[in-house]
Structures are given as structure tokens and as C-alpha cells.
Structure 1
């Protein structure tokens, strides 16, 4: 049976186009091994108004300063792959320990080589802004890292004017295992490790599911808690002009952005 092909007609008029499919665009550069950041950003950042666009870069455990530093050359290419030739409203590099080891300025320069002028957000930088939004200077810090990987983190916050009342690490070397720590366990760890004189707790690492645990940690210690993904999500939302309060993700999500 021979079927005649249908006639295909070209419509004479093209629809008028919106300026953008979504009003705001957040770029997200994450590790190949990352289980946590994308789900966190789907919950905390993405909406009918804000799109989140992700690129992954190669990373190999263990989490050591040497391995973390190896990601720097890949940042420009990763940024270039996020909506090529289109502007972003913010771009976040989602690795706290690597941001400390590589340096905020170096990360910004690498991303700006592909995306000039876009506001760049790193987890330690966003965490500092969050802690300053609360007016805190004396903090406790909790990380899943080894002592070797935690040391640059301690130095970073001291260098930026914070007093560390206590610093506790858990000794993990694999970020995939860090992602498996239950949020309920983080609540108990916050209770156990926050110094009585600390004004706030910073929980480092984008692999941790600490954004889910932030309200429980705050209830447990009676003080503000700032976590890596929570802080970058908050920073990106505010850069997109979203000042909505989201207390379900912790007190920080009710605060205005404190810029450097």
C-alpha cells in the first residue's frame, strides 16, 4: 500500500518571543561525584521564575587539598558550557573546600574568562556573607573532612576576621560517603560540637545534606546555622532579586544579602 506523504505547510507568521524562557538564570558548576547540590537547588532555588543550569567537572577522591586544586583548570570550560553566549544572573561553584584551596579570586577569574561580568558565588564566600548578615564573628565550624583538608578552611575564616571558638572535623575522605551522613546525625553533631560561646555554627561541605538539617540544628543549639548549599542558594536567590522568606531552610533564608 502506497501512502502519499502529507503536504507540509510553513506558517506565514512566527510567534512573538519572550525575552527569556525563564526570567532569571543561575549557573551551577558541581563535581562529577556530587549527589547533593542539584537536589538542594531544585528545592531552594529553581522556580517558575528562576532556572538552574548545571555543568559537572571531573573530580577524583580522596578529598585532599592536592586533588581539590586540580579542578581549577576545568572551571572556564564548565562555565562556557552553561547556556553558551547567553548571560547568567549568577553562577555558583559548588565546592567549599576547593574554593578555599584555589581561592575565591582565582575561581572568579576562571569563570569570568567564559562568562564576563556574571556575579560568582562560592560556598565559603556565601557563608561569610550569611554569618555577617547575623552580625556574628565568633563561630563554631563543623566539617566532614580530614584534619589536613580542614586546616585551610580554618585559616580562611580567621583571615577574614572570624574568631573560631571550636572547629570539629569528621575525618571523611570521600565526598560520596559525606553525602550519606543522615541529616538527623548532623543535628546531633551540631548539638555536640557547637561551643557555648559561639554566636553561630557554620557547617561546611556541599556534599552534606545539611540544608535539610539546618532548622533542626538551629533548634538544637539555639543559634543561627549557616551551611554551604543553603548559603550559596540564599546568595543566588538574592542576586536574582528574590527576597522571599523561606524559614523552612533555616534563619538565613529570611535575611537580606550582606555583600562584601
Structure 2
């Protein structure tokens, strides 16, 4: 009879299912769109791992700012063996309300071996990669968050030529806005002088319409979850072209 040591000596290991990269996402407790989008856009061999942090069903500057103190513990709950390559705070409005530097600092506390990023970081990187400086923006947010987003983006050197919001407060409402309405609303927010159109918020089902919108408008369209997945993949060294979801993922 084999001893436990004999059996263990014969164990064969490989790199597991996630042999290409491991990416973590810190989501709002109310989030209902991002997980589906991430799975849809992520190529085989890349592991995606999720955790959530508390927030009421009310997206305001105050509820978003309160998340800063929860980020480190949330990050600590994803693959504590230290094998995570990238970790992302998956909230556009939250990352700009809290600020990227604070987000990165808190994520590093919980996942010191992973590269930290956020959706607003991904969006700004995407727009820069596309060479877009004049931006039209469509959001579901309250006006006070819209003002913060416009100011945050403008402070990086972008020119916001128009920003239109839906004045929704509940995440549970944002996730139910139909893709057809998103496309029409975003087109109305666009301006001829804009180099690119940005549809903000991970709760919106924008990836369903981004490719068709680019064809309709004749310019790049960036949306939160598309930019986030592109950014996290590229940071993890994954350069696969992903067709059907806009120029960003397919060409960059």
C-alpha cells in the first residue's frame, strides 16, 4: 500500500485553467452587468475573479466616497496566494470620486503583488491610445456626479465638448436601461467635433451597441466595461484582438 508521501510524490501539476493571467475585479454590491461583460470579453486561459463591497442602491458622491475604506479588505479576499496579476476597482463614478491615487493605494494594501487599476484609469488610457482629445460623454448619473466626471476628465487635458446624463440614482435602474435606448441616447450626446464618444458606467449594457454605434457615427466609441477589460488584459500581457466590441479591443 502506498504511503501518503508516495502518493504525493506522484502528483502531476500543470498551470491550471488560468495559465495566461489572473485578473481581479472589485465590484459594487449592487452590480448586475459587469460580471457578464467580463466573462463575455475575456479570452480562454485568463482567469477572472470577483469580490464585492457594500453600497446601498443609491449612487451618490457620498455613497461612492465611503467605498474607499472598503477597498483594501475587498482586494485581500481575491486569491490570497499572491498570484493575481491585475486588480481593478470596477466602478467608473466611484474611481473618479475617490480618486485614482487613493484607489491604487488601497488596492495595493490588499493585493500587493497585483497591478492596480480602475475603470476611469482604463477609460483615460483608452482615449489616449485612440488619440482622442475632444470627447462627448453619455452617462446615467445624477448631475452632481456628471459635473465631477467632466471636471476630472478635463483636468487630464481632455476637452469635454458635451456631457449628457440620465439623472438616475439607483444602480438597479441603470442596469435595466435597454441597449437600444443607450444607443439612441449616446448618439444624441455625440457632437460632430468630438474625436470619440464615451458611454460612462459599468452598469449600462453598452457593449451590446458599441460596434454598431461606431459604424453609425464613424468614430471610436469607448464604454466603461469595454475599456476596463481592454486595460486589465493589456496590463496582464494579453494582447488578443477581440472583434465585435469596438475599435479599442479589436485594433489596440
Fold shared, TM-score > 0.5 on shorter chain: yes
The Cα shift of 1:246 comes to 1.4
SS of residue paired to 1:113: helix
* 2:69 corresponds to 1:95: no
Matched, 1:55 2:58: no
Distance in 2 between residues matched to 1:230 and 1:120, nearest whole Å: 17
SS in 2 for 1:71: helix
**Cα distance, 1:241 vs structure 2:** 2.1
Q: Deviations over 1:201-220 (max 9, x none)?
A: 11110111111211122122
Query: Match of 1:37?
Result: 34
Aligned residue pair count: 249
Pairing of 1:203-222 with structure 2 (within 5 A)? 203-222=199-218
* SS state at 2:207 partner: helix
Question: 1:12-69: per-residue Cα shift (whole Å, max 9, x none)?
Answer: 3431222454211000110111000100010012x43100011011111321101111
Equivalent of residue 233 in structure 1, options 229, 232, 240? 229
Q: Is the Cα contact below 8 Å between 1:25 and 1:51 reproduced in 2?
A: yes
Gaps of 5+ in 1: 1-6
Shift of 1:229: 0.6
TM, length-normalised to structure 2: 0.94
Q: Distance in 2 between matches of 1:175 and 1:133?
A: 30
Matches of residues 65-84 of structure 1 in structure 2 within 5 Å?
65-84=61-80
Q: Confirm whether residue 144 of structure 1 aligns to residue 134 of structure 2.
A: no
Deviation at 1:104, TM superposition (A): 0.5
1:193 matched to 2:197:
no
CA contact (8 A) 1:25 1:89 kept: yes
In 2: Cα distance, 1:89 partner to 1:237 partner: 10
Distance 1:185 1:219 in 2: 17
Contact kept in structure 2, 1:190 and 1:221, CA below 8 Å: no
Q: 2:22 aligns with which of 17, 25, 50?
A: 25
TM-score (norm 1): 0.91
In 1, the alpha carbon distance for the partners of 2:226 and 2:143 equals 24
Give structure 2 stretches of 5+ with no counterpart: none
3-state SS of paired residue (1:247): coil
User: For 1:112 and 1:140, how far apart are their aligned partners in 2?
Assistant: 32
Provide the C-alpha distance between the structure 1 equivalents of 2:171 and 2:219, rounded to a whole number of angstroms.
Answer: 27
Deviates more, 1:220-229 or 1:240-249: 240-249
1:9 Cα offset (Å)? 7.8
CA distance in 2, matches of 1:41, 1:14: 37
- Distance across 1 between alignment mates of 2:235 and 2:119: 15
Spell out, residue by residue over 1:141-200, the C-alpha distance to the aligned partner (whole angstroms, 9 max, x if none).
111001111111001110000001111001100011101111111111122110111110
- Provide, for residues 87-116 of structure 1, a one-character-per-residue CA deviation record: whole Å limited to 9, x for no partner: 211111110001001000100000101111
**What's the Cα RMSD here?**
1.6
SS at match of 2:209: helix
